[in-house]
Amino acid sequence: MDIKLRSGTPADAEICGGICYEAFKTISEVHGFVPDFPAREVAIGVLTRMLANPKFYSVVAEVDGRIVGSNFLDERNRIAGVGPITVDPSVQNRAIGRRLMDAVHERATEKNFVGVRLIQAGFHIRSLSLYAKLGYDVREHLACMQGNALGISIEGHVVRPAANADLENCNRLCQEVHGHDRAGELKDAIADGSAAVVEHDGRITGYATVVGFFGHAVGETNEDLKALIGAAKEFAGPGLLLPTRNGEVFRWCLTNSLRITQPMTLMSKGLYNEPAGAFLPSVLY
Ligand SMILES: CC(C)(COP(=O)(O)OP(=O)(O)OC[C@H]1O[C@@H](n2cnc3c(N)ncnc32)[C@H](O)[C@@H]1OP(=O)(O)O)[C@@H](O)C(=O)NCCC(=O)NCCS
């Protein structure tokens, strides 16, 4: 099979988005899970935005001139995020996925990223095998959790919308917890109006770009994380991603009626520091 790779363009969004929808739907339904994308248009919309965004590198695979898959690299931070990677279900398990992964790794090396990360659907043994063979280590088991807004406030922890003036403090906090900041994403989220901060004892002790699938959150303590989750108006997309090793917050979410929708895995290759605080990864990492 002659696999050709090329950069993606906005004109690929319709076909790549359709493949992305079908690929996730097929694998989720085989395992009895609800697909990540509720409709084809949602997947096309997400890929349209990524293909048009210069901060995302994209690669498209073709076989005999037909598009069969795509992959992305989020280049907004010092650590790059891989995915979503999807291959047309009719040609999966024939090395197209490996080629699409190699392409984003070459790009990450070229651009001097110190590490790459991704989130893997925990029930999907093929992607788990592929990523492990490509050098990724399993870092966290995650529960994707969904439910009604909790409307809970945590004493002494005030949640308010984030502003540009908070950037420096939030980036410092992320640096302390993860050893690197996520300044690019946070800046975008503040511009979108989706980011929030927690104030405790007169300083910022936590922030979230979004409490949900496409956003990450960082807190000095579990109380900061609970304050952000408790104040969220909704858990955007399929749900928030909770590291289950954080038993205290995991049980708190379960006790407050959030339900697990699927297991997921945070994997990394390159620089990784054991987090020194509380956090929620986004689906990009
Ligand atoms: C995940 C996905 C992108 C992989 O692409 P693909 O073209 O099917 O995968 P490849 O054929 O390149 O690689 C699969 C690898 O896993 C190995 N593999 C598959 N099942 C395995 C198993 N049960 N145990 C061990 N290895 C296994 C294959 O041998 C192959 O390894 P190799 O390259 O060393 O031969 C594709 O299957 C897909 O689109 N899945 C649905 C969407 C999805 O889950 N995307 C990823 C989100 S995290």
3-class secondary-structure state, position 6: strand
**At 2, is the pLDDT very low, low, confident or very high (cuts 50, 70, 90)?**
very high
Indicate if ligand 1 lies below 6 Å from the C-beta of 124. Answer: yes
Indicate if ligand 1 lies below 6 Å from the C-beta of 120. Answer: yes
203 token code pair: 């300083």
3-class secondary-structure state, position 192: helix
155 token code pair: 């004493």
Indicate if ligand 1 lies below 6 Å from the C-beta of 92. Answer: yes
Contacts with 140 (C-beta within 8 Å, 6 or more apart), sequence order: 243, 244, 245, 265, 266, 281
> Residue 97 Cα, ligand 1 centroid: separation in angstroms?
6
Looking at residue 210, its pLDDT comes to 97
Kind plus residue range of the DSSP H or E element containing 174 = helix 167-178
Indicate if ligand 1 lies below 6 Å from the C-beta of 180. Answer: no
What letter represents residue 44's amino acid?
Answer: I
Indicate if ligand 1 lies below 6 Å from the C-beta of 30. Answer: no
pLDDT at 170 over 90: yes
Looking at residue 105, its pLDDT comes to 98
Contacts with 104 (C-beta within 8 Å, 6 or more apart), sequence order: 57, 59, 71, 72, 73, 80, 82, 116
What letter represents residue 143's amino acid?
Answer: A
pLDDT at 1 over 90: no
Query: Considering the chain, what is the average pLDDT of its residues?
Result: 97
**At 85, is the pLDDT very low, low, confident or very high (cuts 50, 70, 90)?**
very high
Closest residue by CA, ligand 1 atom 7: 97
Measured from the CA of 86, which atom of ligand 1 is nearest?
A: 39
Closest residue by CA, ligand 1 atom 16: 130
> Residue 34 Cα, ligand 1 centroid: separation in angstroms?
20
Closest residue by CA, ligand 1 atom 35: 95
Looking at residue 155, its pLDDT comes to 97
What is the pairing mode between strands 79-82 and 115-121? parallel
Indicate the top mutation candidate among 93, 96, 100, 105 to test ligand 1's pocket, ranked by most ligand atoms within 8 A of CB: 93
Contacts with 70 (C-beta within 8 Å, 6 or more apart), sequence order: 8, 12, 16, 19, 20, 47, 58, 59, 60, 61, 85, 86, 100
Closest residue by CA, ligand 1 atom 31: 130
Determine the Cα–Cα distance for residues 104 and 233; give it in Å rounded to an integer: 35
pTM above 0.85, yes or no: yes
> Residue 258 Cα, ligand 1 centroid: separation in angstroms?
31
pLDDT tens digits, 124-160: 999 999 999 999 999 999 999 999 999 999 999 999 9
pLDDT at 114 over 90: yes
DSSP secondary structure string for all residues of 16-65: HHHHHHHHHHHHHHHTT---SSSSHHHHHHHHHHHHH-TTEEEEEEEETT
pLDDT tens digits, 40-60: 999 999 999 999 999 999 999
Indicate if ligand 1 lies below 6 Å from the C-beta of 20. Answer: no
Distances (CA, A) of 16 to 10, 37, 68, 198: 10, 14, 8, 38
pLDDT tens digits, 174-230: 999 999 999 999 999 999 999 999 999 999 999 999 999 999 999 999 999 999 999
92 token code pair: 């999966």
pLDDT tens digits, 234-253: 999 999 999 999 999 999 99
Indicate if ligand 1 lies below 6 Å from the C-beta of 68. Answer: no
Closest residue by CA, ligand 1 atom 22: 126
As to burial, measured by CB atoms within 10 angstroms (0-12 exposed, 13-18 middle, 19+ buried), residue 233 is exposed
